[in-house]
Structure 1
Amino acid sequence: MKKVIFLVIFLKAFVGLAQENDSISSQKDRLRQYAGQWISAVNPSTDSVAKFPEIKMSSMNNFNNHSLTVKVLQKDSSNQYNPLLHEIIGYDSFTDTIFAAGHNTQGVFFTGKGIFASEKKWTMQDKDLNGNNTMKVDFNFQNYTDVILEGFDTNEKSLWKTRYIKNNPKDKNIGIQLVSVHKEMLKNPEQTLVQLGRMGYSYVETFVYKNGSFYGQSPKQFKAMVEKSGMKFLGSMTFFDPEDKNDDTVINTWWNKTIQDHKKAGVEYLSTSNSKLKDIKTIKELQEYSNYYNKVGKLCKENGLKFVYHNHADEFLKVEGVTIYDYFLQNTNPEYVYFQSDIYWMQVGGVNPVSYFKAYPNRFISWHVKDYKELGESGKIDFKDIFNYQELAGVQYILSEVEAYSFPPLFSVGLAWEYIYYELLK
């Protein structure tokens, strides 16, 4: 089965409760902005790139993010890329500065020392091995996926200027839940999507469907905006909980409109969750919900979409001695209802996700993989072991979440992509 790996960065109880940092304070963390795969723009005044850019650069993290191995390649007349520069750039904790050592293809070696004056401005002074100043390089980050470099001689005369655009690979099919960058999407959805696409994300999942639109865009407009950024609009979280689960007229009216809007947007699935589980007291109520989810799933299937149920922690409460999540898994039709297991909320709910994948194989079309802060930082969730059970669970889409941010959201989701790509998807 072809695996489609999908990343979600999802916030606790939605955006209103998110904890965010507005800045990146340390030199070490600021340096991480330079990690990734980059290509040169057509010229420094634009972020457009050519089919065969002049420069390709790989900047890979090492030693717990203390250093970067940087390789720069230049295009020749036959559109082949040859080595131009190789260096190590690292953070020195003793002097709280950025240090570099490298060489070019002529065998000329150099060292460099510098500092971030702010998140966006970084200066490095290069020296030859005799200790003489050679070139100063200024780095100006336009955003987390766009940086302008300019080299100056010892008289402050500009020698060259280059603009790099991040171009991380999409071969592992990682996606993102846009709640992670909700404020950014409300402010400038087009530019936010562009950055996400450059970071390496392949897909987006939304939760803002309202009155037939997404972030104020029609389904077709939003689909086009996502695709222009190099991604796909894959899924959408939708919320409708009728008071009467047997009122087919109300159910069909809302869901048929919702399904048609999402078909125009080109999504593959609709997902939902349930915030009222603490109020359920009887098995009869659980069965009413199961019947309701089967109805919605059948409507979706008849229209070429999938319907997915997303859990939080309340699913692991008991009703009349029965665990709610088990009841839903046992009493919904696998033909109509898929499950999107939220790894973090399962852990909060006191269960081992792997036990569910073993007990209900092939029921989990996707995972939300979330940690207590940025992915992989808490040490409380063994993501690497969990990822061994993708095939058993039936996973096609993997979604990861961040409970609260230590950094600005767009920086954090870039770190999340790195963790998924380099640590979990070998």
Structure 2
Amino acid sequence: MKIVLYLVIVFNCFVGFAQENYSILSQKDRLRQYAGQWISAVNPSTDSVTKLPEIKMSSMNNFNNHSLTIKVSQKDSSNRYNPILYEIIGYDSVTDTVFAAGHNTQGVFFTGKGIFSSEKNWSMQDKDLDGNKIMKVDFNFQNYTDVILEGFDNDNNSLWKTRYIKSNPKDKNIGIQLVSVHKEMLKNPEETLIQLSRMGYSYVETFVYRDGSFYGYSPEEFKATVEKAGMQFLGSMTFFDPENKSDDALITNWWNNTIKDHIAAGVEYLSTSNNNIKNIKSLQELHAYCDYYNKIGKLCKDNGLKFIFHNHADEFLTIEGVRVYDYFLQNTNPEYVFFQTDLYWMHVAGVNPIEYYKKYPKRFISWHVKDYKELGASGKIDFKALFRYKKAAGLEYIVSEVEAYSFPPLFSAGLAWEYIYYELLK
């Protein structure tokens, strides 16, 4: 009797499944929600935006995330954007408050001081340089990409109200593995995808393909949902490990159906991983996997897709004195099989990816950029050094991934995009 292993969800590889209810506790970290590029909504009651919004705001991090430099511009009658406000907002560690100083185009200066009363609510009291109160501004975060601002006079009468929607740039083509926000995708996939798009992500990679569907959507439905959010569905991790690697009928049938579904979904590549390596005892068994990957790779190429092998740490074990990963690279056809470097798992295994990029150039077309905490926060992995070799590796798909959280997963996903965009792809 043939045993077929459907490796749909692998708990020991995707730590992200153990997500907890994290909070943003410090004033400094809460202020980071306001970082990014923002545009005004059509009106404060909706998150809809137009091609030419009335207001654009740039809010850039400074000094290890202690402050933000703000520039607000307004559209004129010629559809040109002119600055109307410059401001610096920062966290003061002495008073544990948020402090601001700024001026408008008329040269009127002001200062402000305030505090986050919760993750979602922030209030600032502005004063002129004589110390007179001039306006209080309340910020209400609807989520990490949507904030409503309202100004009040000294009698608490509303002066104005604006809604900003995050609109970070997509010019550097950064993707995200949706395991990073798995619980959020299960709860509300449409809203989650919209937030990821606003954060600046260009495309998504999934890992939940099963029985012809993605998160309960048909391939066509999921493609349409991702594109409606403003992204592309480019990659999918797929898991099928037949016991008999020579059963061509079984293999061809499963993968042809899988490829058909993914073509309908619009993806460019399929990837897989191997969670059976510790059970492999001989090079003969290892070679059977190489033949299997070559079969899959050829099927993918014949249908206009790329096939990519994703590593964890076990690939750097040895069998009969040969390192598994090296054997895979040497015994798979470069025309059919590419590789997806998981930078975190290579670091766990004590391996330097650069050595592989030098030895096997152009084969590592996708990277999972992942850290022990939020990207760049652990200080353990020299991502900047690795990214100097992206051309040698043949990197085409940069995939952000977060599996260990200090903050709510969606917030952490936003921080990951910022790190890749501003620090690694300068």
Asked if these proteins are the same fold (TM beyond 0.5), I'd say: yes
Letter in 1 for 2:136: K
Number of the residue aligned with 1:295: 295
2:102 aligned residue: 102
Output the CA distance in 2 between the equivalents of 1:403 and 1:45.
35
Provide, for residues 158-188 of structure 1, a one-character-per-residue CA deviation record: whole Å limited to 9, x for no partner: 0000000000000001110111000000111
Q: Identity, % of aligned pairs?
A: 79
User: Aligned ranges for residues 24-423 of structure 1 at < 5 Å?
Assistant: 24-423=24-423
Q: C-alpha deviations, 1:340-398, integer Å up to 9, x for none?
A: 01111111111111111111111111111111000011111110010010111111112
Structure 1 Cα separation of the partners of residues 422 and 389 of structure 2: 18
Which AA in structure 2 matches 1:246?
S
Offset at 1:62?
Answer: 0.2
Question: Distance between the aligned counterparts of 1:402 and 1:410, measured in 2?
Answer: 10
* Deviation at residue 423 of structure 1 after TM alignment: 0.2
Partners of 2:12 and 2:164 in 1: CA distance: 34
Structure number with greater CO (CA < 8 Å, separation at least 6) is 1
Q: TM-score, normalised on structure 1?
A: 0.96
Q: Deviations over 1:198-221 (max 9, x none)?
A: 000000000011110111111011
Q: Distance in 2 between matches of 1:150 and 1:281?
A: 66
Paired residues of 2:60 and 2:70 also in contact (CA < 8 A): yes
Report Cα offsets for 1:135-174 as digits up to 9, x if no partner.
0000000000000000000000000000000000000011
CA-to-aligned-CA distance 1:14-70 (integer Å, 9 cap, x gap)? 256535452100000000000000000000000001111110000000000000000
TM-score (norm 2): 0.96
CA contact (8 A) 1:20 1:407 kept: no
- Residue aligning to 2:7: none
* Aligned residue identity for 1:288: A
CA contact 1:12–1:404 (8 Å) conserved in 2: no
Contact 2:400/2:417 (CA < 8 Å) preserved in 1? no
Matched to 1:298, the amino acid is K
Aligned to 1:4: none
Report the Cα offset of residue 265 of structure 1. 0.3
CA–CA separation in structure 2 for the residues paired with 1:190 and 1:399 = 20
Kept after mapping to 2: 8 A contact 1:40/1:165? yes
Cα distance change on mapping 1:372 and 1:15 into 2, 3 Å: closer
Partner of 1:6: none
Shift of residue 11, structure 1, vs aligned partner: 9.2
Contact 1:11 1:180 in 2 (8 A): no
Name the amino acid aligned to 2:325: Y
Quote the offset at 1:399 in angstroms. 2.0
Q: Is the 8 A contact 1:21 1:405 kept in 2?
A: no
Q: For 1:371, what is the secondary structure of its paired residue?
A: coil
Q: Matched residues in 1 for 2:293 and 2:314: separation? A: 17
Cα distance in 1 for residues equivalent to 2:92 and 2:11: 33
**1:88 offset after TM fit, Å?**
0.3
2:6 aligned partner = none
